[in-house]
Structure 1
Amino acid sequence: MKLTEMYKQLILILTFLQMGLVETAFCQKLDSNKTVLMDVGDVWHKIKSKSYQIDTTKTKIGVPLLTILPGFGYSQLTGFTVLVDANISFYTYKNTNLSVIKITPEYAQNKQFTPILTTSIWSKDNRYNFVSDWRFYNYTLRDFGLGGQTSEDVYNHFSYNFIRLHQVLLKAVASDLLIGVGYNFDKHFKVKSIDDQLVTNASDYGISTSAVSSGIVLNALFDTRRNENSPVADGWYANFYFTQNIKLLKSSSNYKSIYVDFRHYVSFPKNSKNILAFWNLNWLTFNGNAPYFDLPSTLWDTYDNAGRTFIQGRFRGKSMIYFETEYRFNILRNELLGGAVFANTQSFTSFSNQQFSKLLLGYGGSLRIKVNKKSNVYFILSYGAGTGGAKGFFFNLGEVF
């Protein structure tokens, strides 16, 4: 989830840290070799009652596991912001992947409103996967122009409304392999430059007051993760989207796009619970010009995570490649607290010759706090720095990837 120049949940985080430091007082053991897992809820109940016995039962089929995280923050662009981040996870059937619904309404002082709903719902035996990405933005952003050589000091302010309706239905054709079709609709309207004149190369590409991308999607998915909230060792994920946007479906232009997302997770050291995670994202547009704000851009992937360290929209181009590696580890035996270190790099095609730019680097560390052990959801606070002096705090409810 996007977050730049924002200091969210500081009081809450400090409280969680204090909770973690008292692990030895709260640690409940099943036997001499196994420590009972804990989350924030267990800590809260332990504080209220020393006789509280930590729940060690397994997740029940069909029972929704709700995790809600209220937040607040501040940025120079939006002013004060309040939000509610919700994760609803459940197993529809036995031996089926965990279904996840994420809801994030956010409201800012400058009247920005960005409700987002994403879903990944699995049917019995993982025969079908129902994937949604619905959102509405009343939004303001900084735009730095096209390519990877743009300056952080040269930008324009834009405001717009944005509607996204992405829907895909996939059917299993082999174990963990699914193929499907869908429809993508993106509309930016009431687009307005807040500045007197455009100072970036955005004007050379062309920006209209209203633009639509509308197209048919062909999708292939390979997914061995059983819980997307917190993938474990030996997990593989590969997602391929091909979208044909056409004027016949009211698209502003005819163009094609390919979105390919690869992820892999290994245990390091071997047989430990520490995870070394790898992520590669390739996002290409071709055979026509996409509307400007539908071009590949930093932190504009499906879950607004590709390029943390930089502000959303910091880099933009007709094509984008992205790599990230993260090492996740437990700090406490009961997994209440953990940490991570990460490094990423991204590159965008230039406006003039469509050649990829130099690699743009980002790196940082994260604090991980388990807020729901049943669905294995962590609250993750990251701080990163990168090329050109970029720096900032970012947070997620669930893994970044």
Structure 2
Amino acid sequence: MQYILIFTWLTLFSFLVRAQDQTTSTSDTACVQRDLSDLIRGIMNKPPKAGDNTGSFFLIPIIGSSPATGFMVGVGLQYGFKMPGAGTRFSMVSGSVQFTSKNQKIFLLKNNIYTKNNNIFFTGDWRYLIFSQATYGLGTNAPEGGILEYQYNLSGVETSRDSLAQPLDFNFIRLYQSASFRILKRHEGFYLGVGYCLDRYTKIVDEKLRLSPGDSLITSHYAYSQHYGFNTDHYSLSTFNLNFIWDTRDNMINPYSGHYLMVTWRGGPRFLGNKNPSSFVHLEWRSFHRLSPKNPRHLIAFWLMGEFTPEGKFPYMALPATAYDQRSRSARGYSQGRFRGNNLVYGEAEYRFPISPCGGILGGVLFVNATTASNKAQSLSLFQSVKPAYGLGVRLMVDKATRTNLAIDFGFGDQSSGFYLAATETF
């Protein structure tokens, strides 16, 4: 009920604001965006810096501590830039390096690059983790037969372990890279592409698993792997992919208008090293709708994503799961991997609005999201169990040329919450 009330309020408020803005004369001067450097130079009585539309580099320090990771230190980065060509869109490379006192290591690198005149679109997700993460079983009603204690996470990483959690230690390599080529030269934004995707898990240690007679505890990971014939300490999923993309966003780093559609089919034949020949379908839609003709930062955005796999063909940790999207940002309010299943559908709506006067650096967001995942073993279909979340956040414009925001969010789910710090929008 709380989720429904929040979503209703957000929707009604958005339409009320739109109606109010439509009464404003379009002849009014549009907002001229300022950023953090303009504010600092103003305080120092220096003239505004000349505009630079070629790119920006942004660093975020990472520091924290939790029982799950120990003391953590690292750095996150984002580089926004533009290739040659008058109409070439901004590209983005982001990543992070993190180390913990429990000998965990995290290396992430993501790329979304448009070449000159937007002729080729490269997208990649490269990860290497020596890590641990709790699992809870399949489906959005997991863990079966139990109710979790209140959980809290930092950017999707657990800060405590619930008694019903089933923690796994593992090494993880992800190598996703696609190249999509522009088609229909007279029309912007249409691409067909090919690529390769590898998820490899090694040195898996199922911490709660006990197989001793009279004192056994069978975890979800072990039961699933044994039932479908997967090795319990290492496995991989190696696939090639074909994709179709339709992208009309005015800026991928922080869109004010447009939409993004991706349809991906992944095939995993045996000769690529898979135990079972299998296929995978990924559907994703994002759209951005301005609510003010004067201030483009006033908008509502939608994100819908679906992932569908055949029963028993994929190893447990390679199944669709929350916050395993490229930016690891889905299902704010829950920890990464909290929900997992053979099929998963995720949706989110976010209201983005200015807080500062016209052109100021400060903005805010309100968001709601919902996740549903299936579990055939329990005859749980999609939408039979839905887990909602909601939250709010603050945005600080640090580079107006690339529209790079510092994003600070708080998300709240069912017996769960989280704090998120990033150098770009969630989607």
TM-score w.r.t. length of structure 2? 0.81
CA deviations 1:136-194 (Å, max 9, x no partner) are 01111111111111133412111100111111111111221000111111110011112
CA contact (8 A) 1:255 1:287 kept: no
Unmatched 5+ residue regions in structure 1?
A: 1-31
- Report the Cα offset of residue 42 of structure 1: 3.2
Cα distance 1:114–1:126, how it changes in 2: closer, same or farther (>3 A)?
Answer: same
Name the residue aligned to 2:73. Answer: 82
CA contact (8 A) 2:30 2:294 kept: no
- Kindly indicate whether residue 371 of structure 2 is the aligned counterpart of residue 346 of structure 1: yes
Name the residue aligned to 2:242. Answer: 218
- Report the Cα offset of residue 33 of structure 1: 4.8
- Report the Cα offset of residue 341 of structure 1: 0.2
Q: How does 1:17-36 map to 2 (within 5 A)?
A: 33=29, 36=32
Aligned equivalents of 1:263 and 1:350: distance in 2?
27
Name the residue aligned to 1:229. Answer: 253
CA contact (8 A) 2:390 2:411 kept: yes
Name the residue aligned to 2:261. Answer: 238
Unmatched 5+ residue regions in structure 2?
A: 1-27, 149-162, 211-216, 226-230
- Kindly indicate whether residue 167 of structure 2 is the aligned counterpart of residue 157 of structure 1: yes
- Kindly indicate whether residue 399 of structure 2 is the aligned counterpart of residue 378 of structure 1: no
CA deviations 1:27-54 (Å, max 9, x no partner) are xxxxx9566533223334444x32x112
SS of the residue corresponding to residue 261 of structure 2 reads strand
Aligned equivalents of 1:255 and 1:359: distance in 2?
27
Name the residue aligned to 1:26. Answer: none
The count of corresponding residues between Structure 1 and Structure 2 is 363
Instruction: In structure 1, give the amino acid aligned to 2:167.
Output: H
Instruction: In structure 2, give the amino acid aligned to 1:193.
Output: D
SS of the residue corresponding to residue 58 of structure 2 reads strand
Name the residue aligned to 1:201. Answer: 220
SS of the residue corresponding to residue 310 of structure 1 reads coil
Cα distance 1:178–1:33, how it changes in 2: closer, same or farther (>3 A)?
Answer: closer
SS of the residue corresponding to residue 114 of structure 1 reads strand
- Kindly indicate whether residue 425 of structure 2 is the aligned counterpart of residue 399 of structure 1: yes
Name the residue aligned to 1:23. Answer: none
CA deviations 1:274-320 (Å, max 9, x no partner) are 01000000011116521111111111112111111001111110110
Aligned equivalents of 1:139 and 1:383: distance in 2?
24
SS of the residue corresponding to residue 322 of structure 2 reads coil
TM-score w.r.t. length of structure 1? 0.86
- Kindly indicate whether residue 53 of structure 2 is the aligned counterpart of residue 59 of structure 1: yes
Aligned equivalents of 1:194 and 1:44: distance in 2?
50
Cα distance 1:39–1:109, how it changes in 2: closer, same or farther (>3 A)?
Answer: farther
Aligned equivalents of 1:126 and 1:291: distance in 2?
37
SS of the residue corresponding to residue 205 of structure 1 reads helix
CA contact (8 A) 1:221 1:237 kept: yes
Name the residue aligned to 2:281. Answer: 258
- Report the Cα offset of residue 90 of structure 1: 1.1
CA contact (8 A) 1:260 1:283 kept: yes
CA contact (8 A) 1:120 1:130 kept: yes
Identity among equivalent positions (%) equals: 26
Across the aligned residues of Structure 1 and Structure 2, the Cα RMSD in angstroms comes to 1.9
Aligned equivalents of 2:283 and 2:294: distance in 1?
30
- Report the Cα offset of residue 323 of structure 1: 0.5
- Report the Cα offset of residue 351 of structure 1: 3.9
Aligned equivalents of 2:59 and 2:334: distance in 1?
26
Instruction: In structure 1, give the amino acid aligned to 2:164.
Output: V
